[in-house]
Chains A and B, each alone.
Chain A
Amino acid sequence: MTALVAIGTYVPPDRVPIESLADEFELTPMQLRVFRRYHKLGSAAHAPSLSLTELLGLAVADLRLTVEQAARIRYVLYARTFPGVVPYPLNPLHEVCRSFGLQHASAFAVGHHACASGLLAVDLAGRLLASAPPDALALVLTGEKAFTGEARFVPETSMFGEGAAACLVAASGPRDRQLSYVASLRGEFDGELEEVAGEFQRIYHDALGAAVTSAVSSAGLSLSDIALILPHNVNVVAWQRVCKRIGYPLDRVLLDHVADYGHVFCADAFLNHRTAVARGLLQPGDHYVIAAAGAGRGATFSAMVFSH
């Protein structure tokens, strides 16, 4: 049973306020008020002086891998929202592998589930490790640069923040064991037509809620067994509506970082996990859900249940 061994994170100290996006994205004062008041988006983490390689490297460094652990890493999966994040032939993933002595590992990117790709990478890492030697490990990297307009702001929805996470995964282990994984792929939302966007908005909360409840029942549990949901930090109002649909208390969804970090691409789940553990919100044996929705070419609604 796939297990998370350790999580390293990095969030830069600088912030950009939502108001700084107003001119570029033609946001009215009323739209800015909506973002702050209802979406609870206030600022996004920003690392102007760090390259993507440095950003990812700081999260890996936070893992404090031993030489022995590094030698056991067979796979390095970079889960990201955007298909391309640097010009050819640059390859930040391979640079990070070189910096940490991981050249022996198979390193590749996973991106087809957009912001839900982090969950896909954890599941894929577990499946790859299932046929590897029992002591083998995989490293899942997440985090991107908010380097274009599309990577800074999602109209009417969210603002992206910079940060990174590195998650060490094993085929089995005593803690943070993956009990289930559900990914609902909705190819019909491939497109940028107004009707497609409208329909996506209409089904969003039901679809994300369905992924959560489906993952919980696949794990043989009910929602009342779930101590905490670790969400993607898209905004607060989306999670209010998901919670209302599925009848789950909003105060058990860890939304602390939405207002401060923004939506840190695929790294949200891991940053939130770190916070949940630091704040003592997860006790041994607690069941929790990691959930995310990804939109881009098509849409993905994903949820994973773990036992802490």
Chain B
Amino acid sequence: MSDTTTIDPDLRQQVVDTICELLPRVLKREVSGASETTTLMDDLGMSSTTGLELVLELEDKLEREISVEDMGRDNFETVGSLADYVAGNLLPEE
């Protein structure tokens, strides 16, 4: 499980930026003004499968694999909470 106190802030910010960049592509529509407080399901109407698509897109973009073992619905609450999870659960580079 990720521990948010040990997350590299630069990496987390990079993940937030990447999520915001990927949102239009995953949701297949324009998304304006997304930030880390944007709620994925309530504000953007993201489904659980679209959320998983976003994680796969993030893997491609970051060129790193993300461990999804501990991932739950709560991690998809906001852009920021997803960034916390992803930044804390990147698998080591081979």
Query: B-contacting residues of A (Cβ < 8 Å)?
Result: 30-31, 33-34, 37-38, 156-157, 194, 198, 201-202, 205, 237, 241, 244-245
Contact = CB atoms under 8 A, between A and B. Distances in A.
B45 A198 contact: yes
Contacts of B68: 38
B62 to A, nearest CB: 16
Contacts of B72: 241, 244-245
Contacts of B52: 34, 37-38, 237
Given A38-B68, A205-B73, A241-B73, A156 B56 contact: no
A201 B73 CA distance: 10
Nearest to A28: B53
Say whether chain A's binding surface is mostly helix, strand, loop, or mixed: helix
Main DSSP-derived SS at the B contact region: helix
Can you list the 10 inter-chain pairs with the closest CB atoms, starting with the nearest? Answer: A156-B49, A34-B52, A38-B52, A30-B53, A244-B72, A34-B53, A201-B48, A33-B56, A156-B47, A34-B49
Contacts, number: 35
Contact of B49 (A31, A194, A205): A31
Contacts of A156: 47-50
Interface residues of B, number: 14
B56 A198 contact: no
B63 to A, nearest CB: 16
Nearest to B57: A30
B27 interface: no
Interface string B52-90: 110011000000000010101100000000000000000
Contacts of A33: 56
B41 interface: yes
Contacts of B73: 202, 205, 241
Interface in B12-60: 41, 45, 47-50, 52-53, 56-57
Contacts of B50: 156
A37 B49 CA distance: 12
Contacts of A237: 48, 52
A31 B41 contact: no
A270 B56 CA distance: 34
Interface-centre pick from B45, B48, B57, B72 (highest chain A CB count, 10 A): B48
B56 A201 contact: no
A198 B57 contact: no
A202 B48 CA distance: 9
Contacts of A202: 41, 73
A198 B73 CA distance: 13
Nearest to B72: A244
14 contacts: A31-B53, A34-B53, A38-B52, A38-B68, A156-B50, A194-B45, A198-B47, A201-B48, A202-B41, A205-B73, A237-B48, A237-B52, A244-B72, A245-B72
Contacts of B70: 244
